[in-house]
């Protein structure tokens, strides 16, 4: 399987969803059937478990109140969950 295209390499760390939740981007994985890159992430609030979302969707812009903005924005290390 060395002929696979390389996976994207986004910055790992904490991201804030446009609706307000904070998440940790753990890595990028590949769908076993389509080979589509998927972002592996976990919520940093009460929910547990790991989640995946298509890479393009994770980093796309969404329309909110008539304005385009990123679906997820990376947070500086000092602005993660529980910081003052």
The CATH number given to whatever domain includes residue 50 is 2.30.30.320
pLDDT of 1 over the 90 cut: no
Asked whether residue 37 is assigned to any structural domain, the reply reads yes
Residue 67 — pLDDT band, cuts 50, 70, 90? very high
Give φ, ψ of 69 to 5 degrees: -150, 160
Give the single-character DSSP code of 7: P
Angle 78-28-67 (CA atoms, 0-180°, nearest 5)?
Answer: 65
Task: Note the pLDDT of residue 48.
Answer: 83
Q: How far apart are CA 75 and CA 23, in angstroms?
A: 10
**pTM (predicted TM-score):** 0.84
Asked whether residue 18 is assigned to any structural domain, the reply reads yes
In the chain, how many domains are there? 1
Asked whether residue 23 is assigned to any structural domain, the reply reads yes
* Domain ranges, residue 49: 14-76
Burial degree of 58 (CB within 10 A; 0-12, 13-18, 19+): buried
Asked whether residue 81 is assigned to any structural domain, the reply reads no
Q: Can you say how many angstroms the Cα of residue 58 is from the centroid of all Cα atoms in its chain? A: 5
Asked whether residue 34 is assigned to any structural domain, the reply reads yes
pLDDT digits (tens, 9 = 90+) for 11-49: 999 999 999 999 999 999 999 999 999 999 999 987 789
What is the mean predicted confidence (pLDDT) over 57-75? Answer: 97
């Amino acid at each position: 399987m060395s002929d696979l295209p390389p996976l994207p390499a986004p910055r790992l760390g904490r991201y804030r969803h446009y609706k307000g939740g904070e998440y940790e981007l753990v890595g990028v994985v590949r769908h076993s059937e389509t080979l589509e890159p998927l972002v592996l992430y976990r919520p940093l609030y009460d929910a547990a478990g790991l989640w995946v979302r298509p890479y393009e969707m994770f980093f796309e812009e969404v329309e909110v109140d008539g304005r385009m903005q990123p679906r997820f924005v990376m947070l500086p290390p000092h602005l993660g969950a529980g910081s003052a």
